[in-house]
Protein backbone atom coordinates (compact mmCIF):
# COMPACT_ATOMS: atom_id res chain seq x y z
CA UNK A 1 0.00 0.00 0.00
CA UNK A 2 1.12 3.52 -0.76
CA UNK A 3 0.49 6.72 1.16
CA UNK A 4 -1.31 9.53 -0.64
CA UNK A 5 -1.48 13.21 0.26
CA UNK A 6 -4.87 14.80 -0.37
CA UNK A 7 -6.51 18.21 -0.32
CA UNK A 8 -10.31 18.32 -0.20
CA UNK A 9 -13.23 20.65 0.53
CA UNK A 10 -16.37 19.86 2.46
CA UNK A 11 -19.85 21.09 1.47
CA UNK A 12 -19.35 24.35 3.40
CA UNK A 13 -16.14 25.06 1.46
CA UNK A 14 -13.70 24.40 4.29
CA UNK A 15 -10.37 22.97 3.08
CA UNK A 16 -8.85 19.86 4.65
CA UNK A 17 -5.50 18.21 3.94
CA UNK A 18 -4.19 14.88 5.08
CA UNK A 19 -2.67 11.51 4.30
CA UNK A 20 -4.45 8.28 3.42
CA UNK A 21 -3.17 4.84 2.56
CA UNK A 22 -4.51 3.01 -0.45
CA UNK A 23 -3.69 0.52 -3.17
CA UNK A 24 -3.71 3.26 -5.78
CA UNK A 25 -4.83 6.84 -6.38
CA UNK A 26 -8.31 5.85 -7.58
CA UNK A 27 -9.06 3.90 -4.41
CA UNK A 28 -8.17 6.95 -2.31
CA UNK A 29 -10.28 9.21 -4.53
CA UNK A 30 -13.22 6.81 -4.17
CA UNK A 31 -12.95 6.74 -0.38
CA UNK A 32 -12.76 10.54 -0.19
CA UNK A 33 -15.83 10.85 -2.42
CA UNK A 34 -17.68 8.39 -0.19
CA UNK A 35 -16.87 10.72 2.69
CA UNK A 36 -18.70 13.46 0.72
CA UNK A 37 -15.63 15.58 -0.02
CA UNK A 38 -14.89 17.58 -3.16
CA UNK A 39 -11.39 16.58 -4.20
CA UNK A 40 -8.88 19.30 -4.98
CA UNK A 41 -5.79 17.08 -5.30
CA UNK A 42 -4.53 13.59 -4.52
CA UNK A 43 -0.91 12.59 -5.09
CA UNK A 44 1.36 9.80 -3.94
CA UNK A 45 3.65 10.74 -1.10
CA UNK A 46 7.23 10.20 -2.15
CA UNK A 47 9.83 8.70 0.12
CA UNK A 48 12.73 10.43 -1.64
CA UNK A 49 14.40 12.98 0.63
CA UNK A 50 14.60 15.47 -2.24
CA UNK A 51 10.82 15.58 -2.57
CA UNK A 52 10.08 15.65 1.13
CA UNK A 53 12.33 18.67 1.64
CA UNK A 54 10.29 21.72 2.46
CA UNK A 55 10.96 24.86 0.46
CA UNK A 56 11.44 27.81 2.77
CA UNK A 57 11.77 30.74 0.41
CA UNK A 58 11.78 33.59 2.90
CA UNK A 59 14.31 32.18 5.37
CA UNK A 60 17.47 33.46 3.70
CA UNK A 61 16.43 34.71 0.29
CA UNK A 62 16.07 38.42 -0.26
CA UNK A 63 13.22 39.92 -2.25
CA UNK A 64 15.74 41.37 -4.70
CA UNK A 65 17.14 37.89 -5.44
CA UNK A 66 13.64 36.50 -5.99
CA UNK A 67 12.72 39.40 -8.28
CA UNK A 68 15.80 38.85 -10.42
CA UNK A 69 15.11 35.09 -10.54
CA UNK A 70 11.48 35.62 -11.63
CA UNK A 71 12.47 38.08 -14.36
CA UNK A 72 15.18 35.82 -15.72
CA UNK A 73 12.94 32.77 -15.55
CA UNK A 74 10.11 34.53 -17.39
CA UNK A 75 12.52 35.78 -20.06
CA UNK A 76 13.89 32.30 -20.66
CA UNK A 77 10.48 30.64 -20.85
CA UNK A 78 9.16 33.38 -23.16
CA UNK A 79 12.22 32.85 -25.37
CA UNK A 80 11.20 29.21 -25.83
CA UNK A 81 13.44 27.38 -23.35
CA UNK A 82 11.82 24.51 -21.49
CA UNK A 83 11.04 24.88 -17.81
CA UNK A 84 13.65 22.29 -16.87
CA UNK A 85 16.38 23.92 -18.98
CA UNK A 86 15.54 27.35 -17.60
CA UNK A 87 15.66 26.11 -14.01
CA UNK A 88 18.91 24.27 -14.68
CA UNK A 89 20.57 27.41 -16.06
CA UNK A 90 19.27 29.58 -13.23
CA UNK A 91 20.52 27.11 -10.61
CA UNK A 92 24.04 27.68 -11.90
CA UNK A 93 23.67 31.45 -12.23
CA UNK A 94 22.16 32.48 -8.89
CA UNK A 95 24.60 33.58 -6.22
CA UNK A 96 22.31 32.84 -3.26
CA UNK A 97 22.86 29.21 -2.22
CA UNK A 98 19.45 28.93 -0.51
CA UNK A 99 17.71 30.07 -3.69
CA UNK A 100 19.79 27.66 -5.79
CA UNK A 101 18.82 24.80 -3.47
CA UNK A 102 15.14 25.69 -3.76
CA UNK A 103 15.39 25.91 -7.56
CA UNK A 104 16.89 22.39 -7.59
CA UNK A 105 13.92 21.07 -5.61
CA UNK A 106 11.45 22.75 -7.98
CA UNK A 107 13.35 21.41 -11.01
CA UNK A 108 13.22 17.86 -9.61
CA UNK A 109 9.47 18.23 -8.98
CA UNK A 110 8.90 19.48 -12.54
CA UNK A 111 10.93 16.59 -13.95
CA UNK A 112 8.88 14.15 -11.87
CA UNK A 113 5.61 15.69 -13.06
CA UNK A 114 4.52 17.01 -9.67
CA UNK A 115 1.86 19.67 -9.45
Tell me what the mean pLDDT of segment 76-88 comes to. Answer: 96
Of the chain, the end-to-end C-alpha distance in Å amounts to: 22
Question: Distance from CA of residue 89 to its chain's centroid?
Answer: 19
Has residue 52 got a pLDDT over 50?
Answer: no
Has residue 50 got a pLDDT over 50?
Answer: no
Q: Output the pLDDT for position 85.
A: 96
Give the residue extent of every domain in the chain. Answer: 2-44, 63-112
Tell me what the mean pLDDT of segment 82-89 comes to. Answer: 95
| Helix ranges, 1-115 (H) | 25-34, 49-52, 63-78, 83-93, 97-112
pTM greater than 0.85? no
CA gap 111, 4 in Å, rounded: 19
- In what side-by-side order are the strands of the sheet with 15-22? 15-22, 2-9, 38-44
Mean pLDDT in the chain?
85
Question: Quick check: helix, strand or coil at residue 25?
Answer: helix
CA gap 27, 49 in Å, rounded: 26
Higher pLDDT, 78 or 53: 78
Amino acid sequence: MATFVYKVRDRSGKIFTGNMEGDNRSSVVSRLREMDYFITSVSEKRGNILFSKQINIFKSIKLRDLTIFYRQFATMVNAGLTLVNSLDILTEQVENKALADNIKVVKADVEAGST
